[in-house]
């Protein structure tokens, strides 16, 4: 199984025929590096947390550059290539040499995936047949709404009818995953039910609903809030209810959501419903403070309590997404109330020495992930999700027991 990724570069928004109104890159500033798990202890800021997180490309790579990178990767490969994924910072549908690139890749007779496209660069419905002929087998396509007027207005798609027709043609032949950022009072309610009915009718493989974020504590860490001035945002509870309602109305549709939740598995943190699996987790024997997001905290509290955690072990910060916790979130905590050892989320955007100096505590980085979010679980089965959670929580409890006060 050899899976190659083709990086076409491109800047979000700039190489997307302009910004979608809800794009979180729209007001992204050139903020200083956050620090992260990849940084060296003596230097805050590495390539990932300085550039990677902002998808900081100067523009699309030329076809020649893409081909050169691809050939270099190809030389490292042993065995047959089983899948090629096209990805980048810009939108593949807006790549100026898109048809030439697909033609070249198509001649390799390997299944092609497009990691993400808005389709805003496609003006001719015939591109769908061209893609199918060239072995495109899977695509994640931003839909927003099946109403072309809304698509034009909020995504700034100059040819919304063509894009919708392409989605329809592709869905009849290959695996199409439809992504919808949900703006309250814009594409929720009746608009959403109409869109889901259409997606069900045309036969998409899955639908991912994404809660719109508009504030720093919802994850806008690039000094880019608000994305839309005065736009209402769903609370986590409202959004969860919307997802439940959608799943109940369209039971035949594989539907999942981020940050919460996947109704097929009641994930993330589906393990809390599985006493037999929880019984396999180690017992907690140490005392630490486990820092996490405000959304994850109640789940972690419930699961760790079942493993013997004392009250107060889980400490939420005022950030809804754990992977987007920064040093500013840690600064707002009452450090005196924390244990001598603090475990932070594995992917937090924090430089460990700075976290230690801010908290005055020993800081340990926790496991990479404790569950699968809706985007990830969409492609998994329940066993896969539970295995991931069992591994994540086992690793977390081992750290608690290894570093915690007895």
Q: Which residues bind ligand SF4 (CB under 6 A)?
A: 12-13, 16, 19-20, 23, 25, 91, 118
How far apart are CB 171 and ligand SF4 at their closest, in Å? 19
Please give the helix or strand (H or E) that residue 316 lies within, else none. strand 314-316
Compare residues 121 and 346 and give the one whose CB is closer to ligand SF4: 121
Residues 6+ apart with CB under 8 A from 256: 206, 207, 208, 209, 262, 263, 264, 374, 375, 377, 378
Q: Where are the alpha helices (DSSP H) in 307-370?
A: 327-331, 352-359
Compare residues 116 and 299 and give the one whose CB is closer to ligand SF4: 116
Compare residues 197 and 210 and give the one whose CB is closer to ligand SF4: 210
- Pairwise CA distance, residues 27 & 284, whole Å: 44
Q: Cα 166 to the chain's mean position, in Å? A: 24
How far apart are CB 12 and ligand SF4 at their closest, in Å? 4
How far apart are CB 86 and ligand SF4 at their closest, in Å? 14
Q: How are beta strands 362-365 and 255-258 bridged, if at all?
A: unpaired
- Omega of the bond leading into 151 within 30 degrees of 0 (cis): no
Q: Compute the C-alpha angle 336/337/341, nearest 5°.
A: 85
Compare residues 20 and 145 and give the one whose CB is closer to ligand SF4: 20
- Omega of the bond leading into 268 within 30 degrees of 0 (cis): yes
Compare residues 25 and 57 and give the one whose CB is closer to ligand SF4: 25
How far apart are CB 34 and ligand SF4 at their closest, in Å? 21
How far apart are CB 190 and ligand SF4 at their closest, in Å? 23
Query: For residue 110, how many C-alpha atoms fall within 13 Å in the half-sphere facing its CB?
Result: 20
Compare residues 118 and 289 and give the one whose CB is closer to ligand SF4: 118
How far apart are CB 20 and ligand SF4 at their closest, in Å? 3
- Pairwise CA distance, residues 387 & 365, whole Å: 21
Residue pair 365/37 in contact by the 8 Å Cβ criterion: yes
How far apart are CB 324 and ligand SF4 at their closest, in Å? 17
How far apart are CB 181 and ligand SF4 at their closest, in Å? 7
Compare residues 170 and 325 and give the one whose CB is closer to ligand SF4: 170
Compare residues 91 and 188 and give the one whose CB is closer to ligand SF4: 91
- Phi then psi for 148, rounded to 5 degrees? -60, -30
344 three-class SS: strand
- Pairwise CA distance, residues 225 & 339, whole Å: 33
- Pairwise CA distance, residues 72 & 68, whole Å: 6
- Please state, as a whole number, how many other Cβ atoms lie within 10 Å of the Cβ of residue 51: 13
How far apart are CB 174 and ligand SF4 at their closest, in Å? 20
How far apart are CB 268 and ligand SF4 at their closest, in Å? 24
Compare residues 178 and 397 and give the one whose CB is closer to ligand SF4: 178
Closest CA to 341 of 328, 359, 324: 359
Compare residues 188 and 339 and give the one whose CB is closer to ligand SF4: 188
């Amino acid at each position: 199984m050899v899976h190659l990724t083709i990086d076409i570069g491109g800047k979000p928004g700039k190489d997307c025929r302009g910004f979608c109104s809800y794009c979180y890159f729209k007001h992204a500033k050139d903020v200083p590096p956050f620090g992260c798990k990849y940084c060296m202890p003596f230097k805050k800021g590495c390539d990932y947390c300085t550039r990677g997180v902002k998808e900081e490309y100067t523009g699309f790579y030329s076809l020649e550059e893409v081909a050169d990178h691809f050939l270099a990767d190809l030389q490292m490969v042993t065995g047959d290539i089983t899948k090629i994924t096209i990805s980048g910072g810009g939108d593949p549908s807006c790549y100026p040499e898109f048809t030439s690139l697909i033609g070249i890749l198509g001649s390799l007779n390997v299944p092609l995936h497009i990691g993400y496209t808005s389709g805003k660069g496609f003006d001719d419905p015939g591109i769908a047949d061209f893609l199918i002929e060239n072995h495109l087998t899977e695509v994640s396509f931003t839909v927003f709404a099946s109403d072309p007027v809304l698509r034009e207005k909020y995504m700034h798609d100059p040819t919304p009818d063509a894009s919708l027709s392409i989605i329809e043609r592709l869905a009849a032949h290959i695996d199409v995953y439809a992504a919808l950022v949900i703006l309250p009072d814009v594409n929720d309610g009746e608009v959403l039910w109409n869109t889901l009915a259409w997606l069900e009718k045309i036969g998409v493989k899955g639908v991912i609903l994404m809660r719109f974020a508009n504030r720093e504590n919802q994850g806008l860490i690039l000094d880019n809030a608000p994305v839309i001035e005065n736009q209402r945002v769903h609370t986590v509870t409202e959004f969860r209810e919307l997802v439940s309602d959608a799943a109940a109305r369209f039971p035949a549709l594989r539907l999942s959501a981020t940050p919460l939740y996947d109704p097929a598995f009641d994930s993330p943190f589906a393990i809390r419903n599985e006493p037999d699996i929880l019984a396999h987790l180690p017992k907690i024997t140490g005392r630490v403070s486990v820092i996490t997001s405000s959304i994850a905290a109640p789940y972690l509290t419930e699961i760790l309590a079942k493993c013997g955690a004392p009250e107060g072990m889980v400490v939420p910060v005022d950030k809804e997404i754990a992977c987007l916790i920064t040093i500013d979130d840690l600064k707002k905590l009452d450090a005196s109330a924390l244990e001598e050892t603090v475990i932070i989320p594995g992917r937090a955007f924090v430089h460990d020495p700075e976290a230690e100096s801010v908290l005055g505590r020993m800081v340990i980085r926790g496991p990479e992930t404790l569950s699968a979010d809706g985007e990830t679980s969409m492609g998994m089965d329940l066993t896969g999700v539970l295995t991931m959670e069992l591994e994540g929580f086992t690793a977390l409890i081992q750290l608690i027991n290894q570093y915690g006060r007895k």
